[in-house]
């Protein structure tokens, strides 16, 4: 287990270092989420309800995550490095764990900027919304990373990732919007936690088959 975590840690550290050097993903995610919130700010009527604006927050989070996920295997694909990683004797799911950790870090940074901006433009955010966002992030990154690996191997990868990811993200939106709006947000948070538990396991187990033929 220690070795597994050490492998995943080394791979996550590598992804964070790549981003620190190339600055390809995080600035794009930050710009995108702020731009989307500004667009929504002008698109929504001034008397729009908090319900409508909180729904749009989840749309912004989902598409920002999609932007990050779309770039998560770019270095491996363009430089063919995935073959080198797959041949290593470490468990192949450690590659997935490393990518999930790195993508999660980028998404959390984007949200640290986006949530205060949302509060500034629209309405205040409560604890249950933040808890919902945190739980949703795990599910988004777990499912999205395995789908990004599948899409990276295909030809129409820019099309494939959203087509695969968005249907699977519908329960996240249901749980996320519910946790933001419902009087009893607990059951929606529990729903998001259940989604995370199931899809983390499925994605972790499936990754080996995705990166090998």
| Euclidean distance between CA atoms 135 and 138, whole angstroms | 5
To the nearest whole angstrom, how small is the minimum distance from the Cβ of residue 208 to other proteins? Answer: 12
Identity of the residue, 21 or 42, whose beta carbon is nearer to other proteins in the bound complex: 21
Q: Does 21 help bind other proteins (rule: CB under 8 A)?
A: yes
Distance CA 28, CA 193 (A): 28
Q: Which stretch binds other proteins (CB under 8 A): 11-19, 122-130, 142-150, 184-192?
A: 11-19
Q: Minimum distance between the CB of residue 147 and other proteins, rounded to whole angstroms?
A: 21
C-alpha triplet 13, 15, 20: angle, nearest 5°: 90
Residue 123, C-beta contacts closer than 8 angstroms, at least 6 positions apart: 50, 53, 54
How far apart (Å, rounded) are the C-alpha atoms in residues 150 and 93?
Answer: 14
User: What are 70's two structure tokens?
Assistant: 């779309």
> What is the contact mask toward other proteins in residues 62 to 81, using x (rule: CB under 8 A)?
-------------x---xxx
Comparison of 89 and 167: residue with beta carbon closer to other proteins: 89
DSSP 24: -
Max distance between CA atoms of the chain, in angstroms, equals 59
Minimum CB distance to other proteins smaller for 17 or for 39: 17
10 touches other proteins by CB under 8 A? yes
Name which position in 35, 39, 43, 88 contacts other proteins (CB under 8 A).
88
Place of tokens 């920002």: 64
130 scored as a contact of other proteins (CB under 8 A): no
Nearer to other proteins, 153 or 198 (CB): 153
Region of residue 23 (phi > 0: left; psi between -120 and 50: alpha; otherwise: beta):
left
Candidate residues 1, 47, 89, 155; the one interacting with other proteins per rule CB under 8 A: 89
Q: Residues interacting with other proteins, by CB under 8 A?
A: 3, 6-7, 10-11, 14, 17-18, 21-22, 75, 79-81, 83-90, 212-213
């Amino acid at each position: 287990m220690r070795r597994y975590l050490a492998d995943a840690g080394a791979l996550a550290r590598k992804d964070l270092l790549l981003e620190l050097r190339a600055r390809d993903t995080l600035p794009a995610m930050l710009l995108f989420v702020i731009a989307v919130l500004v667009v929504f700010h002008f698109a929504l009527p001034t008397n729009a309800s908090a319900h409508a604006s909180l729904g749009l927050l989840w749309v912004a989070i989902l598409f920002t995550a999609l932007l990050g996920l779309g770039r998560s295997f770019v270095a491996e694909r363009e430089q063919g490095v995935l073959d080198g990683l797959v041949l290593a004797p470490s468990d192949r799911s450690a590659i997935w764990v490393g990518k999930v950790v790195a993508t999660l870090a980028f998404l959390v940074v984007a949200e640290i900027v986006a949530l205060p901006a949302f509060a500034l433009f629209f309405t205040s955010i409560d604890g249950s919304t933040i808890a919902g966002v945190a739980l949703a992030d795990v599910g988004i990154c777990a499912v999205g990373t395995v789908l990004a690996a599948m899409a990276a191997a295909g030809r129409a990868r820019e099309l494939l990732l959203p087509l695969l990811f968005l249907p699977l993200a519908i329960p996240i939106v249901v749980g996320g919007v519910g946790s933001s709006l419902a009087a009893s947000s607990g059951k929606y948070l529990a729903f998001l936690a259940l989604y995370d538990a199931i899809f983390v396991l499925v994605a972790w187990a499936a990754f080996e088959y995705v990166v090998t033929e």
